[in-house]
Amino acid sequence: MNINILYEDEEVIVCEKPAGVAAQTKRLGQADMESLLKNYRAGKGEQPYIGVVHRLDQPVRGVMVFAKTKEAAADLSRQVQTKMADKFYYAVTDGVPEQKKGTLEDYLLRDGKTNTSKVVSKSTEGAKSARLDYEVTAQNKTNAILRIRLDTGRHHQIRVQLANAGIPIVGDTKYNFKETMTRSGNGLLLCSYKIGFKHPKTHKKMEFEIRNPFLI
């Protein structure tokens, strides 16, 4: 599998993860970004270390940054955990939000047995705050394209929050009831199109972006 490398230096690799490929998996025989990049580095005669510092759901396409050293991994992980890294997405929704621009704030609870999350009350044990900002960039009578800035990085956050708001993502067979019933086969129409972070060594602000793949 060819990897679309957007940027590479001694500390980081920025690339595009294809839809359907896991960022990291324990399943034997299944290719993931970690193993693909390790093989890529080994093929160049380099020490094949790859640090996974953030995730994208397996059905989601988009930009990811990986560390090439343990020091870079520690720095980038800290940026992700302290919300210093910026993550932006495009999503196509079933339905159009009433407000063209807004913020969704909820509390989410993850169910490890079913690999799903749900919106719960703040007082629920184990609940974690989730926040995102969105803006409608295109719409028709039945769908909208949302540009989303993720403020927190919870499990399935965008998918759960949009579904809870009544505008689930097209192609989401976990959280979109229509898709669960029809199995349309369109794929999950969610893309991580831009990421921003400070370089772990130079501390220079860096941003990498791919074009919006969705039209309605």
Domains of the chain (ranges, CATH numbers): 4-85+194-209 (3.30.2350.10), 88-190 (3.30.2350.10)
Concerning whether 32 is annotated as a catalytic residue, the answer is no
pLDDT of residue 184: 53
Q: What is the mean pLDDT of residues 63-75?
A: 98
Q: What's the pTM?
A: 0.91
pLDDT of residue 180: 53
Marked catalytic residue, from 57, 75, 94, 172 = 57
Region of poorest pLDDT, from 13-27, 69-83, 129-143: 13-27
Burial 157-189 (b: 16+ CB within 10 A, else e): bbbbbbbbbebbbbbbbbbbeebeeeeeeeebb
Alpha-carbon separation of residue 121 from 104, 109, 158, 197 (angstroms): 14, 9, 17, 32
Q: How many CA atoms lie within 13 A of 134 on its CB side?
A: 25
